[in-house]
Amino acid sequence: MTIIVTGGAGFIGSNFVFHMLEQYPDYRIVCVDKLTYAGNLSTLKTVMDNPNFRFVRADICDRAAIFQLFEEEKPDAVVNFAAESHVDRSIENPEVFLTTNILGTQVLMDACRKYGIGRYHQVSTDEVYGDLPLDRPDLFFTEDTPIHTSSPYSSSKAGADLLVLAYHRTYGLPVTISRCSNNYGPYHFPEKLIPLMIINALADKPLPVYGEGLNVRDWLYVEDHCRAIDLILHKGTVGEVYNVGGHNEMRNIDIVKLICEKLGKPESLITHVADRKGHDMRYAIDPTKIHRELGWLPETKFADGIEKTVRWYLTHRDWWEEIISGDYQKYYEKMYGDREQLPIG
Ligand code: NAD
Ligand code: DAU
């Protein structure tokens, strides 16, 4: 079995590469990644010499390069993680989100059609459902919740999902889609909430919480997401969407306070800053379908996962210090440099 994993030098894609190489020693995993600011070859250094692994630097929008790769590898399946993934960046510059997330998906599926692939799996997000109100804790996203997006990022992911389902109906392409909640764990890029707060706290820098910090996210340890995709790939029903989430809702402010506690840092580092535009209030996944049909359940409790994650950042300083020493500084200055501070707390 040969599987093309796109975006495998990023956060979840790399964890998926590790998972698959460990679980299936006889599979060939071909990682395709453009190595944007979010992709790091150093993340994959432990598998580079594995004879069952191949890394190819390519843009999923580059039709010639992608078709050439399919010609060479004749893959059995494709798992598409490659995307522009950060909501704040999509608010600053939507275009690349539409290009990579929608047109890149189209190129991959066209190659799948031409080479008669066994499965195309699209890694999507719970953000395609929009958000839920804070005063209705009884509401959850199911696979039947209407698509209702808030940001250019989530709109681009929703556009891709619709295209994937259209390729299934129109051309009979054997597709599946997973829509997962917020992941956390090793190799999470420092622009995202949890790593950003850990790294800033370690340097005694302000911890920039958007607005009051009451927004709720449904956190899942990355390895549990990888196991869910593995199950869908092997046992999922073609044409179906599967929600993935672990019923672990937390307010941003509570996450940041927990990180302060774990690192022995004062909560006075917390700085409330101007809110994200169009900021989604609450995400909450109903994972009944994947549990009932495929037997998936999360294995890592948040208390253990966050402990492991904080420890990982403490013991892998080289990985993130290299990242934050480069263009990240410019990004940080642009996003946070003159962001208004709010008189909260
Ligand atoms: P990430 O930003 O950490 O990694 C994205 C990877 O894709 C990087 O390695 C980057 O170099 C690569 N890439 C970007 N554009 C590319 C292109 N045009 N061609 C080839 N490679 C390209 O993202 P992530 O957090 O690992 O997310 C992976 C996928 O999972 C995304 O599709 C995202 O929408 C989805 N998702 C993420 C989360 C989460 O909490 N992080 C939750 C649900 C779904
Ligand atoms: O729900 C799945 C999605 O989760 C994925 O599809 C996205 O790719 C992924 O980036 C993530 O999106 P979020 O916007 O939820 O994640 P982020 O880490 O950017 O923000 C989490 C919450 O923390 C959100 O409410 C905004 C807030 N936040 C974020 C940052 C970066 C802050 O308060 N301060 C910050 O500096």
Query: Which of the residues in the chain have pLDDT under 70?
Result: none
Question: pLDDT by residue (tens digit) across 81-137?
Answer: 999 999 999 999 999 999 999 999 999 999 999 999 999 999 999 999 999 999 999
How high is the pLDDT of residue 129? 98
3-state secondary structure the chain: CEEEEECCCCHHHHHHHHHHHHHCCCCEEEEEECCCCCCCHHHHCCCCCCCCEEEEECCCCCHHHHHHHHHHHCCCEEEECCCCCCHHHHHHCCHHHHHHHHHHHHHHHHHHHHCCCCEEEEEEEHHHHCCECCCCCCCCECCCCCCCCCCHHHHHHHHHHHHHHHHHHHHCCCEEEEEECCEECCCCCCCCHHHHHHHHHHCCCCEEEECCCCCEEECEEHHHHHHHHHHHHHHCCCCCEEEECCCCEEEHHHHHHHHHHHHCCCHHHEEEECCCCCCCCECCECCHHHHHHHCCCCCCCHHHHHHHHHHHHHHCHHHHHHHHCCCHHHHHHHHHCCCCECCCC
Ligand 1 site, residue 81, Cβ cutoff 6 A: yes
- Specify whether the CB–CB gap between 199 and 146 falls below 8 A: no
Atom number of ligand 1 nearest to Cα 80: 32
Ligand 2 site, residue 252, Cβ cutoff 6 A: yes
Catalytic residues: 126-127, 153
CATH number for the 2-184+219-244 domain, one of 3.40.50.360, 3.40.718.10, 3.40.640.10, 3.40.50.720? 3.40.50.720
Q: What is the pTM of this model?
A: 0.98
Ligand 2 site, residue 128, Cβ cutoff 6 A: no
> Whose C-alpha lies nearest to ligand 1, atom 29?
81
User: How many helices (H) and strands (E) are present in the chain, helices listed first?
Assistant: 13, 13
In whole angstroms, what separates CA 234 from the centre of its chain?
Answer: 21
Atom number of ligand 2 nearest to Cα 256: 33
Which one-letter DSSP state was computed for residue 281?
A: -
Which percentage of the chain shows pLDDT scores above 70? Answer: 100
String of DSSP letters for 186-225: TT--TTSHHHHHHHHHHTT--EEEETTS--EEE-EEHHHH
> Whose C-alpha lies nearest to ligand 2, atom 11?
182
How high is the pLDDT of residue 272? 98
Question: pLDDT by residue (tens digit) across 5-33?
Answer: 999 999 999 999 999 999 999 999 999 99
How high is the pLDDT of residue 294? 98
How high is the pLDDT of residue 345? 74
Ligand 1 site, residue 13, Cβ cutoff 6 A: yes
Ligand 1 site, residue 179, Cβ cutoff 6 A: no
CA 84 / ligand 1 centre spacing (Å): 6
- Specify whether the CB–CB gap between 34 and 57 falls below 8 A: yes
Pocket mutation for ligand 2, best pick of 192, 215, 220, 309 (most atoms within 8 Å of C-beta): 192
For the chain, what are the domain ranges? 2-184+219-244
Phi and psi at residue 220, in whole multiples of 5°? Answer: -130, 135
